[in-house]
Structure 1
Amino acid sequence: MPISHLLSPPSLPSLPPPHLRNGAARQCPTPLRAALALPPPRHVGLATARGDGGTLGSSRARAVGAVRVSAVPGDGGAVAGGTGIAAAAAATVVFAVMNRVLYKLALVPMKNYPFFLAQFATFGYVLVYFSILFIRFRAGIVTREMLALPKAQFMLIGLLEALGVASGMASAAMLPGPSIPVLSQSFLVWQLILSVLILGRKYRTNQILGCMLVTAGVILAVASGANGGPFLSELNFFWPAVMMASAAFQAAASIIKEFVFIDGAKRLEGKRPDIFIVNSFGSGFQALFVFLLLPFLSSLKGIPFAELPAYLNRGAACFLNIGGNLKDCHGAPLLPLLYMTLNIAFNISALNLVKMSTAVVASLTSTLAVPLTIYVLSLPLPYLPEGTNLSTSFIIGAATLVLGLLLYNLPQTSADQVKKD
């Protein structure tokens, strides 16, 4: 799920295709795949992707949000677009690392109440996002036409993310800890498959191999600490499959968010929906479905539903560091609030990157934060003074991940681009 300086993210205006410059596209609901009406699927990249969806020398207008590669010399727009995406990607990596580190720190005072922290964040973010949305609406950044976008797609996002949470928690309760982040790397594979099926996107061979290397690198880096306990060999396939299904739900939600920007731009005659439209309504529906699943989710955490109110009261007292044994909650409320603030910043940054590029690019960028986070957490930190030594397999995994990112982002040659145009 996705603050002050993020109230005005960069605007990326773009002209719609000629056949969408009248008002007809705004009035007719569009099916998920056919609605896109995209031109022949293009290959996507990270550093050379343009934010406005076009390249010099191409006379064909593109649907907003579809990203293409431009390696034409002298294309200043492509350079500017690539620079903007690179800056957004760098910010996303920084926020992702800080988010993961602060989550670990937040669990120091909240070690007995992780379920409270998760639910407080889920429902608290709805209030934060809608408050920001209201401010942006009053400032004229968000229009009534944006607010009138079909809510079914946001409901689908919320449902998919809630199902991802539920299936992830169910499988996590049955799997050995080191296997969970490894199995979660199927998220990127699901994104590739679903972006092809839903968005009709095509990927070059180097991009597919790059994504596979990224996945392998993360698995090597994370699994380097798995030697001391049980791993997947002692389990049947059911619970690993449920964890991979959880990643599939989350991946589908990210692809639908990308679709929202593409379809919304067509309905809004080329103006992309504000990211807080997607954040607010997506988070709102997610909170609704999580609320409906609370009896199931609490039982997964070993909390009988009848005892949930008392557990939440104790969690709130620990979060605020009032009453009870204050020594057990040392570090609250500062650490949990810092985590929630950075988590909001990360989710906003990641969604803004989806808006500027693609969901797969945003996922690759966030994946880079995994080995960086492990490295930071290996250092002595406040509240976590014990450091750890990094294994050789971690170094190899991190290098493999970076190699995969470089391979994915190899620019397309000018000759290939001219031939495609």
Structure 2
Amino acid sequence: MSNNDKEKQPLLSSINSDENNGANIKIVEPVPWYSKIKNSMSKETITILIYVVLYVCSGVINSVLLKKVMNKFTNYAFFLSQLTNFGYVPIFGAVTAYKIFFTNDIPKETRDFPTRKFAIMGALDAITGFFVVIGGVSTSGPLQQLLNQAIIPVTMITSFFFLKERYSFIQLGGALVIIGGVITSLIPSLVGGSGGNKPFWNFFYLLSVIPGSFSNVYKVVGFQAVDDMDVWYLQYWDSLYQSIFGIFLFPINNWLPPPATIKFNQILPFMKEGAECLAGINTILPSYYTYPNGTESFTVNSCTYDPKAALICDDCHNAWIAIILYMSINIVYNIFILLVLKHAGATVYSIANTLRLPLTNIAFSIPFIMGAAVSPFSPLSVAGLVIILVGLGGYRVGSMVKQKKDAAAASGQVKVIPSYGPAGMDNVMPVQKQFIEPKSQAHLRNSFFGKLGIAVPEAKYRAANNNNYGDV
């Protein structure tokens, strides 16, 4: 081949020519980005993504339906609290009975577990649910979601004193930011109220995080020796004791302002009216006065449909449908909690739970979903949401870093620390920190499964993975 021919030949053509001594170099086409993602998606990864998406979606729907149910039973919050407590007892009881008599899922060792521990857990969850439902009827949906995040710093405080847990500066910083976000979220309510929010009931709802945090800590202490507690068995006893203890909370309503006021001699008529509301019958209705000329007007003490009014009229139409939908999606939602924890772990669950917060607040602001109970965002609400998300992110990062350090120490690494000997002589001694083997994933999944419908921080689940009370 002449020099002129070589100059005219394409640059890559000579690669496959005979002058390369038979060498054959194959040109590789670049792989599209979507093909790389597809090739990296294993069946297990796809399954986890499906579970996470379904968990987030069912969680948003669960929160929306809970607020809709609260709106239906605005005047019968205590009845709603008892209804949601007792409503789960036959469901969990039927499944538990089937497992005991027809399967080996609940062995005798599990049935011999002291029920007094279930009673303590049920009592704490009953108090938590009381504050949530009673305070929730006058707390908007978005504010409920933001106030729920306060359980993280409160649980950290209770764990510090009762479990001797210590936290990193990143975790502490994240918790402080969350507190700042909660305070910011409460400002619109304090300066005049918005979306039906009333300061007294907002703080009443916020108090639910205190017994909730004690419940989280007790689950770490009371169930640490259980290797594989069946979740249906646990929830049956929890809901049963929660229902029993919930009955004895009604005297508190004697001193609460409307619409939660229930005098001691009114409890039976009140429960009857709550049952009628469940059946779709309205009891508290607007009162009219008819003038001689035939015109009508509201009486002075008549109820109104204004969420800011002292006495709100009943809106019990299709209340029983709302209850059934809520309880059904609530069970589905908690099933996906278990699936995400089982297949993806607490870290992915925490990320999904953080993502669920803004999506839920967006849902509460859509008129098509919430109707007349829509809660549009105020600038301070948006600011509170952003601050809490930043705090949650910092807390998650701090928890992950601390978890890695604990895991590295548990793997047998030796930590060298200075030790000061007699006569001022400095010695360097290797100290091996002793760790207990982590528990099984089944223990992580089942033992510390929280009360249905109440969000809990992922730290509770990670705590179950270390008997030395790790990251709580």
Corresponding residue number in structure 1 for 2:385? 398
Corresponding residue number in structure 1 for 2:278? 319
**Cα-to-partner distance string for 1:215-244 (whole Å, 9 max, x where unaligned):** 4334434545654349xxx999xx96x876
1:194 aligns with 2:158: yes
**2:393 alignment partner AA:** L
How far apart are the structure 1 equivalents of 2:141 and 2:335? 28
How far apart are the structure 2 equivalents of 1:235 and 1:337? 30
How far apart are the structure 2 equivalents of 1:264 and 1:171? 34
Corresponding residue number in structure 2 for 1:274? 230
Of stretches 149-158 and 393-402 in structure 1, the one that deviates more from structure 2 is 393-402
How far apart are the structure 1 equivalents of 2:192 and 2:229? 48
1:407 aligns with 2:407: no
Question: Where do residues 11-90 of structure 1 align in structure 2 (5 Å cutoff)?
Answer: none
- Contact 1:221/1:371, CA 8 A, preserved across alignment: no
Q: Structure 1 residues 104, 283: closer, same or farther in 2, change over 3 A?
A: same
Q: 2:264 aligned to 305, 313, 330, which one?
A: 305
Deviation at 1:150, TM superposition (A): 1.4
Deviation at 1:369, TM superposition (A): 4.1
**1:248 alignment partner AA:** I
Q: Structure 1 residues 406, 93: closer, same or farther in 2, change over 3 A?
A: same
Secondary structure of 2:377's aligned partner:
coil
How far apart are the structure 1 equivalents of 2:347 and 2:161? 14
How far apart are the structure 2 equivalents of 1:362 and 1:125? 24
Q: Structure 1 residues 386, 279: closer, same or farther in 2, change over 3 A?
A: closer
Deviation at 1:325, TM superposition (A): 9.7
Deviation at 1:253, TM superposition (A): 0.8
Secondary structure of 1:262's aligned partner:
coil
**1:335 alignment partner AA:** A
- Contact 2:340/2:349, CA 8 A, preserved across alignment: yes
Corresponding residue number in structure 1 for 2:88? 125
Corresponding residue number in structure 2 for 1:228? 192
Q: Structure 1 residues 415, 151: closer, same or farther in 2, change over 3 A?
A: closer
State the structure with bigger RCO (CA 8 A, min sep 6), 1 or 2.
1
**2:277 alignment partner AA:** C
**1:250 alignment partner AA:** G
Q: Structure 1 residues 357, 197: closer, same or farther in 2, change over 3 A?
A: farther
Q: Structure 1 residues 85, 364: closer, same or farther in 2, change over 3 A?
A: same
How far apart are the structure 2 equivalents of 1:416 and 1:363? 19
Deviation at 1:281, TM superposition (A): 1.2
1:94 aligns with 2:94: no
Of stretches 106-115 and 166-175 in structure 1, the one that deviates more from structure 2 is 166-175
Larger radius of gyration: 2
Of stretches 103-112 and 347-356 in structure 1, the one that deviates more from structure 2 is 347-356
Deviation at 1:149, TM superposition (A): 0.9
Gaps spanning 5+ residues in structure 1: where? 1-78, 266-271
Deviation at 1:121, TM superposition (A): 0.8
Corresponding residue number in structure 2 for 1:288? 244
Q: Structure 1 residues 235, 400: closer, same or farther in 2, change over 3 A?
A: closer
How far apart are the structure 1 equivalents of 2:140 and 2:317? 29
Question: Where do residues 209-288 of structure 1 align in structure 2 (5 Å cutoff)?
Answer: 209-221=173-185, 223-224=187-188, 226-229=190-193, 246-265=208-227, 272-288=228-244
Of stretches 304-313 and 383-392 in structure 1, the one that deviates more from structure 2 is 383-392
How far apart are the structure 1 equivalents of 2:65 and 2:134? 24
Percent of residue pairs identical:
25
How far apart are the structure 2 equivalents of 1:204 and 1:81? 33
Corresponding residue number in structure 1 for 2:115? 151
1:376 aligns with 2:376: no
Deviation at 1:122, TM superposition (A): 1.1
| Aligned residue-pair number | 331
How far apart are the structure 2 equivalents of 1:343 and 1:223? 31
1:111 aligns with 2:62: no
Corresponding residue number in structure 2 for 1:48? none
Q: Structure 1 residues 314, 373: closer, same or farther in 2, change over 3 A?
A: same
Q: Structure 1 residues 169, 128: closer, same or farther in 2, change over 3 A?
A: closer
How far apart are the structure 2 equivalents of 1:85 and 1:206? 28
Deviation at 1:102, TM superposition (A): 0.7
How far apart are the structure 2 equivalents of 1:320 and 1:342? 20
Q: 1:163 aligned to 127, 131, 155, which one?
A: 127
Q: 2:104 aligned to 140, 161, 164, which one?
A: 140
**2:219 alignment partner AA:** K
Secondary structure of 1:303's aligned partner:
coil
How far apart are the structure 2 equivalents of 1:169 and 1:321? 20
**Normalized against structure 1, the TM-score is what?**
0.62
